Amino acid sequence: MALMQASADVNIGNNDSEDPWTPLHIAAHGGHEAIVRELIERGADITTEIEYDGRAMGMAASKGHAAVVQAIGEAFNKQLYLAVQSGDEMAMYALVAAGADVNKAWTNVETLLRIAA
């Protein structure tokens, strides 16, 4: 957490390997929900995909870290909601392809389809 407070790059990868994991990948793989949430809050890219290992959300799911999967899923859905509100089609496509829930209801009556209309 000290490095994040010192404005360290939350999206930097490990350049010493063929598949450079980001801090989000490492935290998700280890099941560290609080760190995952902090990284996301500080701008970690939840769509980064590492060759052979995939995205952080998939890594957490494969290890059975349900709370981490939920935290990343919430971030996907929030970003999709903002992309729909702003009409950012490129972001919408990328987020849906990465696993955002297009059927998520934001209130009792507000869905993404209704927002987009």
Question: What pTM does this model have?
Answer: 0.75
What's the rounded mean pLDDT across residues 12-24? 75
Give, in order, the Cα–Cα distances in Å from 97 to each of 63, 72, 92, 100: 22, 14, 8, 7
- Residue 108's pLDDT is what? 59
What is the spatial distance between Cα 47 and Cα 84, in angstroms, rounded to a whole number?
17
Q: Each residue of 57-111: pLDDT tens digit?
A: 999 999 999 999 999 988 888 888 888 888 898 988 888 887 788 777 666 566 7
Distance CA 63, CA 31 (A): 8
Q: What is the CATH number assigned to the segment(s) 2-116?
A: 1.25.40.20
| Average pLDDT of the residues in 53-57 | 87
Whether residue 5 is predicted with pLDDT greater than 60 in this model: the reply is no
Q: Where are the domains of the chain?
A: 2-116
| pLDDT of the residue at 35 | 95
Average of per-residue pLDDT across 1-18: 65
